[in-house]
Amino acid sequence: MSYDIAIVGGGPAGLSAAYSASKEGLKVALFEKDPSFGHNIRTSGVSWIKEMLKYEIPSDCYNPIKNFVFISPNNEIRISGKEDSACVLDVRKMYQYLASKAAAAGANLFVKSQVADISRDLMTKTSHLKVNSTISPKSIKAKLIIDASGFSSFVSRKLGYVVEWKRFGAGAEYECYCDNIDESTLTLMVGSIYSEAGYAWVFPLSKNRVRIGVGIGKPDSNVDPVEKLNKLIANRVKPLDSLGKIQPIEFHFGLIPNEGLRTRSIYEGLIMVGDVVGQANPLVLEGIRYAIEFGRLAGKVGADSIPFGCTIESLKPYEIANRKTLEKKINSALRVQERWLALSDAEWDKEIDIIKGLTIDEFLDFIKSDFTTSKMLKVALTHPKLLAKQLFNLVAKKNE
Ligand SMILES: Cc1cc2nc3c(=O)[nH]c(=O)nc-3n(C[C@H](O)[C@H](O)[C@H](O)COP(=O)(O)OP(=O)(O)OC[C@H]3O[C@@H](n4cnc5c(N)ncnc54)[C@H](O)[C@@H]3O)c2cc1C
């Protein structure tokens, strides 16, 4: 079977690429190895309402969040928002919404279809895919491949363009029933009782449903996030002591790259998107909105490149936007992360005080990694704490 574009992976990046490429009238096929979209959840699903509105994600796909709490071993701060700004996604519902949108635009979506092999014929400028499936055709030809296979970077590795990610975050999470939780407040916990190299979280989906998780940086720590999470819940470490009964209902596990962007996001006949290319913000493990944004761009640029043979030149607008939008942001986030990885528990107690000195807008810029040099220098100048000046100068200086 022949297609203009074959997309490997049905996460937010692949589904968004399928939507935008199909909207351009192309023949598009998407292959997802799991039995349904959002079947194996690999994310804790925090995002931002502004971006969800921009991407027309219905409001019943998320729980709005107004307030933010940070807990360290001997400190706790609360940032109260003026309005709902963040959200915790119903991940499965949202991914299935993206799938319906892609299907309505004309995409052919194949679940339970694992792409097992890929090769590229340079003479005919065609890629050949072998698919393990009882649902989709088993042998596919396509002019362009969009690799949206997530952390595994399956296609790009198979073609020899990239190697496995060396630095990454491993996260384990239970989605739980709990007796009672403030559904408009999300909580992040830092310090060694929560994570030796990372953080733990409590993300509410409703008054009685919450995601409780632990993320640990690799190779910085060899602690297993599942063991750490089980201990936190068994010992009801603060703030879990205030949730009443905690009954896990689903287990989630995922890996996220933590090295910055790959050196290239395009090759002849290939676009890499989402976690394949490292587009997530490593500071707070946030990648869903970037996966949607760059998935849509990959679909559009890919569609436009078809009449030109999907050459590097015709795919270049994607690479340019990828670097321009993300490179500085991710590099700044990596510098902050380097500082955070070196903090002792006592230093964390002081570090979270920095956040207390920020206005809500400054806090949101920081947590979303919307770092611009002028914004960060202004915060460095006006913030009362010396530690904050160090932190924000660190972000701002090297961005110049
Ligand atoms: C623990 C953890 C917590 C996170 N929390 C957040 C958060 O709160 N907010 C946020 O915005 N981001 C978060 N992220 C990051 C976010 O989940 C990712 O950045 C985002 O999912 C990337 O989307 P993607 O489409 O590139 O990849 P994925 O969502 O990983 O999708 C890739 C898809 O490809 C499929 N696939 C892989 N290989 C093949 C193959 N050979 N054939 C067919 N299908 C294949 C997989 O089954 C998968 O469905 C978190 C990540 C982790 C690990």
Q: What is the pLDDT of residues 3-43, one digit of tens each?
A: 999 999 999 999 999 999 999 999 999 999 999 999 999 99
Number of domains making up the chain:
3
Domain end position, chosen among 257, 277, 296: 257
Domain end position, chosen among 212, 228, 257: 257
Say yes or no: CB of residue 13 within 6 Å of ligand 1: yes
- Distance in Å, CA 43 to ligand 1 centroid: 7
Q: Are 31 and 115 in contact (CB under 8 A)?
A: yes
| Whole-number pLDDT of residue 400 | 46
Residue 276 alpha carbon, nearest atom of ligand 1 = 26
Residue 201 alpha carbon, nearest atom of ligand 1 = 8
Say yes or no: CB of residue 57 within 6 Å of ligand 1: no
Q: Token pair for residue 270?
A: 């290939």
Q: What is the pLDDT of residues 313-364, one digit of tens each?
A: 999 999 999 999 999 889 888 988 888 888 999 999 999 988 888 888 888 8
66 with 13, same domain: the answer is no
Say yes or no: CB of residue 274 within 6 Å of ligand 1: yes
* 255, HSE (Cβ side, Cα atoms, 13 Å): 16
Least confident of 147-151, 158-162, 328-332: 328-332
Q: How many residues does the chain have?
A: 400
Say yes or no: CB of residue 75 within 6 Å of ligand 1: no
Residue 12 alpha carbon, nearest atom of ligand 1 = 25
271 with 320, same domain: the answer is yes
Is residue 216 scored above 70 in pLDDT?
Answer: yes
In 3D, which of 122, 115, 123 has the Cα closest to residue 157?
Answer: 115
Residue 126 burial by Cβ neighbours in a 10 Å radius (0-12, 13-18, 19+):
middle
Say yes or no: CB of residue 115 within 6 Å of ligand 1: yes
Q: For ligand 1, atom 21, which residue shows the shortest CA distance? A: 288
| Whole-number pLDDT of residue 384 | 64
- Distance in Å, CA 386 to ligand 1 centroid: 38
Say yes or no: CB of residue 46 within 6 Å of ligand 1: yes
CA 360/CA 340 separation, integer angstroms: 21
* CATH number for 284: 3.50.50.60
In 3D, which of 248, 245, 242, 209 has the Cα closest to residue 230?
Answer: 248
Angle at 99 between CA 96 and CA 100, to 5 degrees: 90
279 with 343, same domain: the answer is no
3-state secondary structure the chain: CEEEEEEECCCHHHHHHHHHHHHCCCCEEEECCCCCCCCCCCCCCEEEHHHHHHCCCCHHHEEEECEEEEEECCEEEEECCCCCCEEEECHHHHHHHHHHHHHHCCCEEECCEEEEEEEEECCCCEEEEEEEECCCCCEEEEEEEEECCHHHCHHHHHCCCCCCCCCEEEEEEEEEEECCCCCCEEEEECCCCCCCCEEEEEEEEECCEEEEEEEEEECCCCCCHHHHHHHHHHCCCCCHHHCCCEEEEEEEEEEEECCCCCCCCEECCEEECHHHCCCCECCCCECHHHHHHHHHHHHHHHHHHHHHCCCHHHHHHHHHHHHHHHHHHHHHHHHHHHHHHCCCHHHHHHHHHHHHCCCHHHHHHHHCCCCCHHHHHHHHHHCCCHHHHHHHHHHHHCCC
Q: Token pair for residue 17?
A: 């690429």
Measured CA to CA in angstroms, residue 201 lies from 171, 214, 265 at distances of 10, 6, 31
196 with 227, same domain: the answer is yes
210 with 240, same domain: the answer is yes
Q: Token pair for residue 222?
A: 């060899």
Query: Which of residues 391 and 268 earns the better pLDDT score?
Result: 268
100 with 241, same domain: the answer is no
The pTM score is 0.96
- Distance in Å, CA 274 to ligand 1 centroid: 8
Say yes or no: CB of residue 330 within 6 Å of ligand 1: no
232 with 343, same domain: the answer is no
Domain end position, chosen among 202, 233, 257: 257
What rounded mean pLDDT belongs to the chain? Answer: 93
Q: At what angle do helices 12-23 and 91-104 cross, to 10 degrees?
A: 20
Say yes or no: CB of residue 114 within 6 Å of ligand 1: yes
CA 167/CA 180 separation, integer angstroms: 37
269 with 336, same domain: the answer is no
Say yes or no: CB of residue 205 within 6 Å of ligand 1: no
Q: What is the pLDDT of residues 40-52, one digit of tens each?
A: 999 999 999 999 9
- Distance in Å, CA 131 to ligand 1 centroid: 20
Q: Are 321 and 297 in contact (CB under 8 A)?
A: yes
Say yes or no: CB of residue 275 within 6 Å of ligand 1: yes
* CATH number for 240: 3.30.9.10
52 with 68, same domain: the answer is yes
Residue 13 lies in domain? 2-39+91-165+262-326
Q: Taking residues 61-87, report their average pLDDT.
A: 96
Q: What is the pLDDT of residues 353-400, one digit of tens each?
A: 888 888 888 888 888 877 677 777 676 667 666 667 677 766 666 554
Give residues with Cβ within 8 angstroms of 160, minimum separation 6. none
In 3D, which of 193, 152, 199, 167 has the Cα closest to residue 46?
Answer: 199
Q: For ligand 1, atom 4, which residue shows the shortest CA distance? A: 43
Residue 245: Cβ within 10 Å count: 10
Angle at 274 between CA 262 and CA 215, to 5 degrees: 90
Q: Which residue has the tokens 């996220």?
A: 256
Say yes or no: CB of residue 18 within 6 Å of ligand 1: no
103 with 66, same domain: the answer is no
Contacts made by residues 340-344, CB under 8 angstroms, sequence distance 24+: 340/190, 341/197, 341/217, 341/220
270 with 351, same domain: the answer is no
26 with 138, same domain: the answer is yes
| Whole-number pLDDT of residue 159 | 96
Say yes or no: CB of residue 171 within 6 Å of ligand 1: yes
- Amino acid at residue number 53: L
